[in-house]
């Protein structure tokens, strides 16, 4: 019996989605890494595994291209919402997510953002609104956890930052015991941000849903923008809504590319 999968993307952040709710599929970091390999495997930024949940409609497990299992993936959450095809609750390691499919994509309600240094987590106490650390021209960062850890830098021109180099250095800095997703943003008009992201366990991606959420939250807290915020990523736009004490709401596209068959045993 062939093993089936669905190839999907959220603004170019792409996924191999395995629906294992009916029959279990064993996933290891090594197998996820092999599936994600763009030359020797199927190729994706994240491997998404759907399993039965005792407390939600579905459990969504997320594996980065490096094989690491992580807590959250905003773009994949919208893709899974469109597969489910109706309002649902999705269980993740980062918490419970409420989703509603909507014209060509989905609306996702995440939890409330977290700002305490030990819950980002950071390796030492620090003001996460204006961090006293710098990597070359990236300074005065803000740290936010939206299920997964993010650091955000606001710069005059996001495209001018050498994120391919700086991203890896910051991702693996000892300040971040669980590593970190690196966001570089610039103001792009009223309540509009331009964002580029170096993702933990992946590298530069076309879009990062949780990065857009974390960046919009940090920008609202800093008084740079007001909700709702349009975040423009290389792969397209997301709209983020948030106010202090509220959960984050993200809206954006989700695309089904093709369905495929394989044998997962060939990936180790």
Ligand X SMILES: N[C@H](CCC[C@H](N)C(=O)O)C(=O)O
Interface residues toward ligand X, by CB under 6 A: 13, 45-46, 64, 70, 72-75, 148, 181, 199-202, 208-210
Q: How far apart are CA 186 and CA 9, in angstroms?
A: 24
Name the phi and psi angles at 56, rounded to 5.
Answer: -150, 180
| Active site (annotated) includes residue 44 | no
| Active site (annotated) includes residue 208 | yes
Of 32 and 160, CB closest to ligand X: 32
Of 107 and 199, CB closest to ligand X: 199
Query: Which residues does 118 contact at the CB level (< 8 Å), separation at least 6?
Result: 125
Residue for token digits 């773009």? 75
Of 14 and 19, CB closest to ligand X: 14
Q: How far apart are CA 192 and CA 247, in angstroms?
A: 20
The three-point CA angle 113-191-167 to 5° equals: 60
Catalytic residue among 44, 79, 208, 213: 208
Beta carbon of residue 245, minimum distance to ligand X (angstroms, whole number)? 22
Asked if residue 209 belongs to a known ligand binding site, the reply is: yes
Of 88 and 231, CB closest to ligand X: 231
Give me 209's structure tokens: 């849903």
Asked if residue 200 belongs to a known ligand binding site, the reply is: yes
Beta carbon of residue 252, minimum distance to ligand X (angstroms, whole number)? 10
Beta carbon of residue 10, minimum distance to ligand X (angstroms, whole number)? 6
Beta carbon of residue 75, minimum distance to ligand X (angstroms, whole number)? 4
Q: How far apart are CA 164 and CA 162, in angstroms?
A: 6
Query: Which residues does 8 contact at the CB level (< 8 Å), separation at least 6?
Result: 14, 15, 17, 76, 79, 83, 254, 255, 256, 257
Asked if residue 145 belongs to a known ligand binding site, the reply is: no
**Numbered residues of the known binding site:** 13, 46, 64, 74-75, 148, 181, 199-200, 209-210
Looking at the annotation, which residues are catalytic? 73, 208
Instruction: Cite the annotated binding site for substrate by residue number.
Output: 13, 46, 64, 74-75, 148, 181, 199-200, 209-210
């Amino acid at each position: 019996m062939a093993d089936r999968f669905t190839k999907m993307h959220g603004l170019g952040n792409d996924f191999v989605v395995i629906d294992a709710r009916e029959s279990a599929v064993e996933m290891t970091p090594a197998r996820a890494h092999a599936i994600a390999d763009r030359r020797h495997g199927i190729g994706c930024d994240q491997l998404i595994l759907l399993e039965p949940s005792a407390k939600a409609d579905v459990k969504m497990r997320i594996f980065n291209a490096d094989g690491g299992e992580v807590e959250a993936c905003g773009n994949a959450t919208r893709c899974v919402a469109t597969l489910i095809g109706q309002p649902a609750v999705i269980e993740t390691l980062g918490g419970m997510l409420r989703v509603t499919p909507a014209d060509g994509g989905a609306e996702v309600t995440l939890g409330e953002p977290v700002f305490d240094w030990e819950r980002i987590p950071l390796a030492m106490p620090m003001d996460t609104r204006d961090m006293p650390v710098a990597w070359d021209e990236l300074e005065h960062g803000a740290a936010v956890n939206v299920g997964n850890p993010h650091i955000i830098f606001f710069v005059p021109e996001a495209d001018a930052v050498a994120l391919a180099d700086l991203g890896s250095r910051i991702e693996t800095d000892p300040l971040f015991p669980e590593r970190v997703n690196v966001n570089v943003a610039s103001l792009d008009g009223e309540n509009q941000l331009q964002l580029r992201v170096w993702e933990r366990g992946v590298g530069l991606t076309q879009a990062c849903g949780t990065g857009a959420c974390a960046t919009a939250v940090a920008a609202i807290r800093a008084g740079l923008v007001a909700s709702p915020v349009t975040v423009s990523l290389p792969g397209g736009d997301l709209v983020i809504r948030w106010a202090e004490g509220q959960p984050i709401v993200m809206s954006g596209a989700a695309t089904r590319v093709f369905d495929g068959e394989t044998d997962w045993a060939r990936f180790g």
